[in-house]
Amino acid sequence: MKRIIVFASGSGTNAENIIKFFNHTKTAKVTNVLCNNEHAKVFDRCKKLNTNSLHFKKDDFFKEDTVLNFLKEQADFIVLAGFLWKIPEKIIDAFPNKIINIHPALLPKYGGKGMYGMNVHKAVKENKETETGITIHYVNANYDEGAIIFQAKTALNEEDSPEKIAEKIHILEQQYFPRVIEDVILEINE
């Protein structure tokens, strides 16, 4: 059984969904959730689900090897679920094609630094897009530029507010993210 470590920065709805999904499979298990925000709601979700969680500081991630060493000991696969920091190359090099992220838009549109959450949904609305979606992709050294694994789309109406767009995206995330993670892990094991 593969060990997944999830990185999160906020409320943790995707992390919770992933934990619950893998609690009912033999493919993998979420063994830890790592978070860079000590006040994030993801910690409460982990507690309710009896999943280990750990807060880490910027220096532990970027300057020291604290997080890298922990991952080398504890992870087979890494999932970014609403994690806002860029992954250091030393971690990417240690886990080639074993780090995936979900982005709340159809990349390559609306990707890059600063394009997350409501920033993305507001840009989609301002540009009067008729559809948007999610992109699940491998993580490389640049924001949102790794190879695309999967995309799912949803139609938009003129009346859709950024908040309504966020709701539509959340439905896609909940529906697809855990299953795509499992597919990628199974593919690696073949």
Number of domains into which the chain is organized: 1
pTM to 2 decimals? 0.95
Contact assessment for residue 132 and residue 154, using Cβ atoms and an 8 Å cutoff: yes
**Residue 47: CB atoms within 10 Å:** 11
Q: Which residues are catalytic?
A: 103
The pLDDT tens digits for 102-157 are 999 999 999 999 999 999 999 999 999 999 999 999 999 999 999 999 999 999 99
Q: How far apart are CA 32 and CA 70, in angstroms?
A: 10
The pLDDT tens digits for 11-28 are 999 999 999 999 999 999
Q: What is the pLDDT of residue 1?
A: 92
Domain of residue 67, residue span: 2-189
Q: What is the pLDDT of residue 188?
A: 81
CATH code for the domain of 96:
3.40.50.170
Q: Which residue spans within the chain are E strands per DSSP?
A: 2-8, 28-35, 52-55, 77-80, 99-103, 131-138, 148-155
DSSP string, 60-75: HHHTSSHHHHHHHHH-
The pLDDT tens digits for 26-71 are 999 999 999 999 999 999 999 999 999 999 999 999 999 999 999 9
